[in-house]
Amino acid sequence: MKFIDKLLKAARRNNSRLCIGLDPDPGLMPETSFLEFNKAIVDATADLVCAYKPNLAFYEALGVDGFNLLQRTVEHIPAHIPIIGDGKRGDIGNTAKAYTKALFITFGFDAATVNPYLGFDSVEPFTEYKDKGVFILCRTSNPGAMDFQSLVGDQGMPLYEAVARKAKEWNVYGNIGLVVGATYPEELRCIRQLCPEMLLLIPGIGAQGGDLASAVKYGVDARGEKAIIAVSRQILYASCEADFAEAARRSAQELRDKINYLVSQISS
């Protein structure tokens, strides 16, 4: 099954555009093992999400044990829910091929985040896995995004717009999406207008301060779909006590329902 089909099927099944980032942080977690934490979060929220998104940095920081944790976490997620491997990989072609094998074959992710800074030959090995999703960093949610992504080139457009246009040009297999932060709503609106049919992965809600209403309004497509609202800390650490899984479920359900309400307001 192609990634976009799996994503839309999960989104419709759970009536959800919410993606939970599985980013276990020992400084914020309750007193439990990393694996039990991840499993409890998944068990509590699997009927509320359209996808899960483990950020590889939190697993790599644990060394060999982290890779085992990541693999077991992936295995625990229900097969019908897509998993986005958030590694923001980007390197020359031969190295990119090794990254694609690691993410798509070894760990079995349904999609990956990719840094396009090195150009098409660094992205192409990912897109050649036609059934997998490739989310290209376009307008990221962090404050420092402005350092480069807002620079205007010779063609009179900011870099993030040039990236969006290139990604649209490269999307010959229909498996490319864009990462666009909720912290930049005007840029999000611009990118959705440029790429009306592409999937948008939208981080920045919650701890980073992005506005949910704007993210939904400008992020969804004409059918109210194809926006993946990614949230981590707000849900994972709704409680740091023994009730962390129940608190995560309440937070996820509240957020999913709020997103659905905002979508209904757009279409009404």
Which tokens belong to 240?
A: 């740091």
Question: 145 lies in which domain range?
Answer: 3-241
pTM of the predicted model as reported, rounded to 2 decimal places: 0.96
Q: Are 201 and 171 in contact (CB under 8 A)?
A: no
| pLDDT for the residue 268 | 61
In a domain, 258, yes or no: no
Q: CA 233, 65, 104, 116: dihedral to nearest 10 degrees? A: 60
What span, in angstroms and rounded, lies between the C-alpha atoms of 234 and 239? 9
pLDDT tens profile 129-157: 999 999 999 999 988 888 888 889 777 88
| pLDDT for the residue 35 | 97
pLDDT tens profile 30-64: 999 999 999 999 999 999 999 999 999 999 999 99
| pLDDT for the residue 75 | 97
* Domain total of the chain: 1
In a domain, 231, yes or no: yes
CATH number at residue 84: 3.20.20.70
In a domain, 256, yes or no: no
Residues 217-239, mean pLDDT to the nearest whole number: 96
In a domain, 118, yes or no: yes
In a domain, 121, yes or no: yes
pLDDT tens profile 105-116: 999 999 999 999
In a domain, 129, yes or no: yes
CA 18 to chain centre: 10
What span, in angstroms and rounded, lies between the C-alpha atoms of 5 and 213? 26
Annotated catalytic residues are 88
In a domain, 252, yes or no: no
Task: Give, in order, the Cα–Cα distances in Å from 49 to each of 3, 14, 41.
Answer: 15, 6, 11
In a domain, 249, yes or no: no
